[in-house]
Structure 1
Amino acid sequence: MIELTMEQIRYYRLHAHHLDRFYEPADLMSVTGACGLQNTPPGAWETALFNRIPAYSKAAANQLLADKHLLQAWSLRGLPLVFPSEESDIFLSALSAAEDELWIYTKGISLALKLLEMDFDEVLALLLQVMPQLDHQIITSKAVLDETIAGWLLPLLPKAKQTIWQQPSIYGSPDKQTIGGAVVSFMLRPCAAKGLVVFGERHNQTPTFTSYRNWLGHPLKERPDANKQLMRKFLHCYGPATRKELIQWLGCSPKQGSRLWDLLAEERVKVMANGRQAFMLAEDLNDLMKPCQPEREYLLLGGHDPYLDQRDRLTLLPDKRHHAKIWQLISNPGAIVYHGEIIGSWTSRKQNQGITIQMQVWQTKADTEKLLELAAAYAKSKGIKLLNVDITKTPD
């Protein structure tokens, strides 16, 4: 069995994630379609795109959404994801649960369903009856979306359940959300997979929502091999990988993950990676064994960049002591990367006249001038003045 080194894996993944060199606007679809660009917290996808194609500033990136070359919708792990509109079925309908499988991001709905004494499929069937109303309107703000759709569904419920539906939420913000609104919030993920809800343009800092049909002018078209194509994207960007890592990446149930994993049984090969058995697309094996040296030495990645979403974190950061500094429960800091390995973290703080950037580097030999250049480029891409950069080097 082939045994791979960490360097081979890092260099290969840098190329798969389009971080080995600077790419051009002509590469937009392959860059954004590699594995999608997460957009939570808001603006995360803009930083990720800039790190791959520097020609796209914040304003230019958002114009791509406005022009509908790219689409934003709830996708992997139930998170907002930006991807090519032409690949919508791969990032949406491919995530649909089969019979007896839990839908992604819907496990928490059970408390509300228990109060309503209704099952998931029953509520989803009612929701599917009212969602086409989004074909004719655009709704501003997620909270308004939840409560508006909950209001549409209310008349379809038995009288005894309507009172419970309108009670304050048990999930937080009871002054702003009802139990019905909370149920809808969970159910919007299956609706997104069916093309019934997508993100529209932002109004100032507030997102808007409508249907796929209303936004793009046609219903979501599904190719029969969309789920296979999604699996190829995962193994291409994150291989060598395991079934467990696929399940974590998708945020799906073990049953759904196993079904999808088995789709590529004849297209993958087993290798030894970092002392464990993992799998790779057979067609990518040569590139993995002989990866090209990256042209870019240092990267200043946003905290939720797809490259940092690798589940075998020891490959990215061999020293476990630093893992909690990069992968946190609420909001991750940015990562300073050298030749594919994380060597530090960074954060930015907005002030009235611009931003300041703080860096903590664990390798004292890191090139200060290059880090300063990266900080300046980041601020410029956001159209913000860089006030100061504070670099702290802490030896391991």
Structure 2
Amino acid sequence: MTKTAGITWGAASARRLDRQFLAMSARTGTPVADVAGAMLGVHAQVLSAAELSVGLRTDGVTRADVRGALWPTGSPSAPPPPSLVKTHGPRGTVHLLPARDLPMWCAALPAIADGPGSFPSGVRLTREQAEQVVSAIGDALDGTFLTIDELGEEVVARTGPWAGDLVMPAFQTMWPRWRQALHRAGQSGALSFGPNRGRKVTYTRPPHFAPMRSEEALRLLVRRYLHAYGPATPQHLARWLAAPPGWARALYDQLAAAGEIEPVDFEGTPAWVVAGDTVFPGGSEQEDLLRGVRLLPYFDAYLIAAQPRELLFPGAAYRRALAGGQAGNFPVLLVDGVAAGVWHQRRRGRRTTVTVEPLGRLTSRQRRELAAQAARVGEVLEAEAELVVGEVTVGAHA
């Protein structure tokens, strides 16, 4: 295939940081849904990490703004619709997704080829049973908030006793069969997370929408992925979506044949960008976009999606900031566009201690920028931050 002139790691990183609001924060007043959309979803298994991912990219935003976008307050009889939805996104993991993007996500994600099932045949839901469960979940959650136990009762009542069979080993107990379809219900638009009821998680149904056609949604998702994180290979897309590599290659072939994506040379390797999206920063512009100190929380979208991983985590960073090659298990100190340390924050009441472990010596300018980033962590979490530069003693995902 014909490739455009070679694109360097520095040029790709500078453009990614710019498009991710990491080179320059989004201005005050930018809707948090716009930031989440630019990231292609915000990993939210730990909600405080998601709040930091959005807040560290946006001037003036705090965790209250993120929660207000998820669960807006208003008239009890007619609450305003959310602009963000907390649900199951890429890889089946919990994400914050813009509500306006649900027609794409909820058509594309169920269309991704599945890998081999993890449950034996006597435990696994059949395709028909899974469809029944997803439909029952959507019906049960429409216009209300239910805990997992309350939702289970409704699902079993709408499907049959088989859905409630305790067949799934989980955390030294057994879960009912229907819970296998929980993430699929989220990816299909039948379920999202509501605000906690005390210490209990609740679920609701997101705003109703008309999904796109699955083929159209997949093509749009790939173009948006390449806009945010390109150049990227089919293998990069497969890793990001936890999809079979062969399936991703076939999808790239379809888009290439339709003229929607085009090949480039990326650090000597064939990769792809959106057709016509071949302008990358260079020279002083590239240096300005890369320069700076940034703190990225657990499973930040940039850490997960930016590839090749060995260039994002060079040398000692690959051993210190990754867990068996998996990104996201440690919050990362980014210096001039590459991982250069890890960090951890521990909150006590209205104060939080931000401990940062650099893997190299920081200049005076970088130390000042680090102090500003730590202070911003406190602002997002609505706490007063204290910066400590030293060893991070907690393990991965602590």
SS at match of 2:104: helix
Identical pairs, percent: 20
Q: CA deviation at 1:268?
A: 2.0
Normalised by the length of structure 2, the TM-score is 0.82
Q: Is the 8 A contact 1:235 1:241 kept in 2?
A: yes
SS at match of 1:389: strand
- Shift in alpha-carbon separation, 1:16–1:322, aligned structure 2, 3 A: same
Q: CA deviation at 1:146?
A: 6.6
d(CA) in 1 for partners of 2:52, 2:23? 16
Q: Which residue of 2 aligns with 1:299?
A: 294
Q: Does 1:107 align with 2:117?
A: yes
Normalised by the length of structure 1, the TM-score is 0.83
Q: Is the 8 A contact 1:66 1:201 kept in 2?
A: yes
Task: Tell me the alpha carbon deviations over residues 287-321 of structure 1, each in whole angstroms, 9 at most, x when there is no partner.
Answer: 366765328611111121111112411221221x3
Q: Which residue of 2 aligns with 1:354?
A: 351
User: Which consecutive unaligned segments of at least 5 residues does structure 1 have?
Assistant: none
Q: Is the 8 A contact 2:55 2:380 kept in 1?
A: yes
- Shift in alpha-carbon separation, 1:119–1:380, aligned structure 2, 3 A: closer
d(CA) in 2 for partners of 1:263, 1:145? 44
- Shift in alpha-carbon separation, 1:221–1:125, aligned structure 2, 3 A: closer
Q: 2:237 aligns with which of 246, 253, 270?
A: 246
Q: Is the 8 A contact 2:91 2:241 kept in 1?
A: yes
Q: CA deviation at 1:130?
A: 2.2
- Shift in alpha-carbon separation, 1:125–1:156, aligned structure 2, 3 A: farther
Judging by fraction of residues, say which structure has more helix: 1
Q: Does 1:3 align with 2:6?
A: yes
d(CA) in 1 for partners of 2:100, 2:135? 26
SS at match of 1:269: strand
Amino acid at match of 1:33: G
User: Which consecutive unaligned segments of at least 5 residues does structure 2 have?
Assistant: 73-81, 393-398
Q: CA deviation at 1:248?
A: 0.9
Q: CA deviation at 1:362?
A: 1.8
Q: Does 1:185 align with 2:185?
A: no
The total of aligned residue pairs comes to: 367
Amino acid at match of 2:146: I
Amino acid at match of 1:228: R
Q: 1:153-192 alignment to 2 at 5 Å?
A: 155=160, 157=162, 166-167=165-166, 169-174=168-173, 177-178=174-175, 180=176, 183-192=177-186
Q: 1:16 aligns with which of 10, 14, 19?
A: 19
Q: Is the 8 A contact 2:134 2:184 kept in 1?
A: no
d(CA) in 1 for partners of 2:136, 2:212? 22
Q: CA deviation at 1:33?
A: 0.8
List structure 1 segments (4+ residues) > 6 angstroms apart after TM superposition: none
Amino acid at match of 1:23: A
Q: Which residue of 2 aligns with 1:92?
A: 106
Q: Is the 8 A contact 1:139 1:209 kept in 2?
A: yes
- CA-based RMSD of the aligned residues comes to 2.8
Q: CA deviation at 1:21?
A: 0.5
SS at match of 1:337: strand
Q: Is the 8 A contact 2:375 2:385 kept in 1?
A: yes
Task: Tell me the alpha carbon deviations over residues 155-184 of structure 1, each in whole angstroms, 9 at most, x when there is no partner.
Answer: 264xxxx8xx5336324331xx43x2xx33
SS at match of 1:60: helix
SS at match of 1:359: strand
Amino acid at match of 2:239: Q
Task: Tell me the alpha carbon deviations over residues 125-167 of structure 1, each in whole angstroms, 9 at most, x when there is no partner.
Answer: 3314522222253113xx436743553366264xxxx8xx533
Amino acid at match of 1:84: P
d(CA) in 2 for partners of 1:151, 1:249? 34
- Shift in alpha-carbon separation, 1:235–1:388, aligned structure 2, 3 A: closer
Q: Does 1:65 align with 2:70?
A: yes
- Shift in alpha-carbon separation, 1:65–1:167, aligned structure 2, 3 A: closer
Q: Which residue of 1 aligns with 2:76?
A: none
